[in-house]
């Protein structure tokens, strides 16, 4: 016969009634789980300390993917409930052609644009392609970089009634009682930074989020003649609607491109080479954006170009910056040849250029819009 000894706790446990035994067992399980959790937490801390910054960034990346997947699941559930239909979009380098021809994203500091505002605190513009004004905070080529990145991150096309979309819209977007079409994306702020080629840091992330907020606050108002060329109803275009949530030094964003923007992305777009753009100065970015939406062989008076891209300094200074920008574009291989003719006195200066890359031609009926003589 084997003499088995028991601890005090075990003896007590054996002498208890069934209910008390169950409660005691549960308590023991809870104690074990707490000890395991504490040990696991300690082990995780040691692993994190050993792996350093690179491991932390990887874990944050995984967490970001989980957040995006959860957000996409919520969108799927709304679709399943019949709020809207959803299909995939496969963005490349598209950018609305009409935006390449308006002085919305100026190659200057935001503070330097305040003197251009009118009595309504809006920024008027007059170009050969359109007349109107921009409402909202001043925008620069930095904000244009942000918008290009957001366009690259588009994931889905939603079609439904305006009030049933994730960000409800006014019925003014409808043609009668028909559904409206928007493009949407859900991603982490770090995804935008990666496309823009910006290093991740607290300050740079805050700057990028502020840029996204500025885009969400922007409304472009056109005169009736301009709006009639591309809008079914109304004369104002909002670029995007945004919802964001902060997570430590990152953020989860839902971006919904408005119906007009979605239509432009599908039907009236220009290809913007972001790798080329990242090598350019602010003036170079503005010139590159404009020329991307024009014919391969193109010419334009420098004063008209200056007005169209929203350059705010003197014309003489602009011509110098333009020469540097065109030389940069030639060095990258994007421009095949270029020259600026005219003395600026008896004959006005004119830029004549030929793009080297043919597949950057825009897919847009805006190419056929009437403009004044070059």
pLDDT tens sequence across 16-59: 455 554 555 455 556 655 656 666 666 555 555 555 454 444 44
Nearest partner of 361 among 259, 280, 270, judged by Cα:
270
pLDDT at residue 248 is higher than 50: yes
pLDDT in tens, 104-158: 999 999 888 888 899 888 999 988 888 899 999 999 999 999 999 999 999 999 9
For 73, list phi and psi in degrees, rounded to 5: -65, -40
pLDDT at residue 70 is higher than 80: no
pLDDT in tens, 175-233: 656 899 999 999 999 999 999 999 888 899 999 999 999 999 999 999 888 877 766 56
pLDDT in tens, 265-307: 999 999 999 999 999 999 999 999 999 999 999 999 999 999 9
Whole-model pTM?
0.77
- Per the DSSP assignment, residues forming a β-bridge with 187 are 253
Q: Are 39 and 165 in contact (CB under 8 A)?
A: no
């Amino acid at each position: 016969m084997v003499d088995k000894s028991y601890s005090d706790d075990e003896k007590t446990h054996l002498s208890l009634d069934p209910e008390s035994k169950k409660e005691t067992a549960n308590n023991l399980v809870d104690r074990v789980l707490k000890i395991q959790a504490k040990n696991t937490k300690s082990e995780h801390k040691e692993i994190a300390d050993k792996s350093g910054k690179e491991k932390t960034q990887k874990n944050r990346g995984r967490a970001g993917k989980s957040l995006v997947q959860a957000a996409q699941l919520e969108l799927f559930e709304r679709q399943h409930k019949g709020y809207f239909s959803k299909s995939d979009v496969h963005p490349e380098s598209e950018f609305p052609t009409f935006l390449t021809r308006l002085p919305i994203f100026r190659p200057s500091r935001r503070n330097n644009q305040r003197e251009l505002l009118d009595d309504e605190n809006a920024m008027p513009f007059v170009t050969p392609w359109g007349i109107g004004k921009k409402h909202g905070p001043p925008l620069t080529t930095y904000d244009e970089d942000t918008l290009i990145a957001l366009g690259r991150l588009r994931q889905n096309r939603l079609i439904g009634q305006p009030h049933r979309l994730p960000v409800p819209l006014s019925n003014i977007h409808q043609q009668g009682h028909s559904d409206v079409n928007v493009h949407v994306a859900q991603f982490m702020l770090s995804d935008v930074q990666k496309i823009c080629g910006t290093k991740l840091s607290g300050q740079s992330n805050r700057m990028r989020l502020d840029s996204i907020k500025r885009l969400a606050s922007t409304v472009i108002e056109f005169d009736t003649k301009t709006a009639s060329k591309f809008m079914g109803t109304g004369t104002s275009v909002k670029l995007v609607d945004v919802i964001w949530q902060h997570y430590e030094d990152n953020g989860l964003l839902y971006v919904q491109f408005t119906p007009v923007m979605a239509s432009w992305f599908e039907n009236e777009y220009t290809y913007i080479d972001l790798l080329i753009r990242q090598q350019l100065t602010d003036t170079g970015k503005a010139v590159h954006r404009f020329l991307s939406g024009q014919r391969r062989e193109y010419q334009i008076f420098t004063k008209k170009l200056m007005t169209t891209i929203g350059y705010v300094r003197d014309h003489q200074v602009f011509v110098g910056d333009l020469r540097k920008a065109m030389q940069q574009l030639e060095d990258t291989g994007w421009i095949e040849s270029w020259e600026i003719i005219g003395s600026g006195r008896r004959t006005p200066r004119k830029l004549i250029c030929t793009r080297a890359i043919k597949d950057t031609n825009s897919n847009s009926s805006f190419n056929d819009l009437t403009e004044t003589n070059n």
